[in-house]
Amino acid sequence: MPPLRYCPECGAALQPHVVAGETRNHSYCSRCQAPRYDHPMVVVTCFVANGNRLLWVQRDLEPKRGAWAIPGGYLEAGETLAQGAARELHEEAGIALPAEQLQLYMTGSITFINQVYVAFRATVDSDYYLAGVESQDCAFFSREQCPWQDVAYPEVNETIVQAYDDLDSGSFDVWQAEMTEGRYDFLPVSQFRC
Ligand SMILES: [Zn+2]
């Protein structure tokens, strides 16, 4: 990730932050006389299953407008992880589930886009949805029905295939994914080795 270049408070050009003679991995605004951080954003998602089908939303926002994705978005201040995932699900697909019904499913880091993501899972027993203002459409797709040619983030297809596998087997682990430039580890937490 390129470092933050301008101060989000005053707009001045930032310099590398030097602490005790060492250049740190964040920037410094000499006008505000304050460090300026560029910490990873947290993305929360929810895999919602009805039988062996998963809920997808068709994005109506750039980037990837018109492509399909698992519902999710950025965690907001003041929310727990599950609350954020439940809010995104409601905003994008009109499905209201209490945060307590979401079960932790996957965690991951994608260092080259400076994101951390946390996925939950939940089950529903109807195909009800109501596409929100950020969605063109929603649908429950089986693995075979899924428009794989038209997914918004093929980089994480492996996690979605895993979710279909878990639905087929009825056995759910918690998964950890670590994506760095040129390397991708995706394993159940119990088997993860760094
Ligand atoms: Zn500043």
| Domain range summary for the chain, segments of one domain joined by + | 1-38, 41-189
Q: The pTM is what?
A: 0.89
pLDDT above 70 for 1: no
Q: What is the CA(14)–ligand 1 centre distance, in A? A: 8
DSSP secondary structure of 3-71: PP-B-TTT-PBPEEEEETTEEEEEEEETTTTEEE--PPEEEEEEEEEETTEEEEEEE-SSSSTT-EE-S
- Is 1.10.1840.10 the CATH classification of the domain at 41-189? no
Q: Map 145-189 to HEC letters.
A: CCCHHHECCHHHHHHHHHHHHHHHHCCCCCEEEEEECCEEEEEEH
Q: What is the CA(32)–ligand 1 centre distance, in A? A: 4
Q: What is the CA(56)–ligand 1 centre distance, in A? A: 41
pLDDT above 70 for 193: no
The mean-pLDDT minimum among 9-13, 18-22, 93-97 falls in 18-22
Q: What is the CA(37)–ligand 1 centre distance, in A? A: 12
pLDDT above 60 for 123: yes
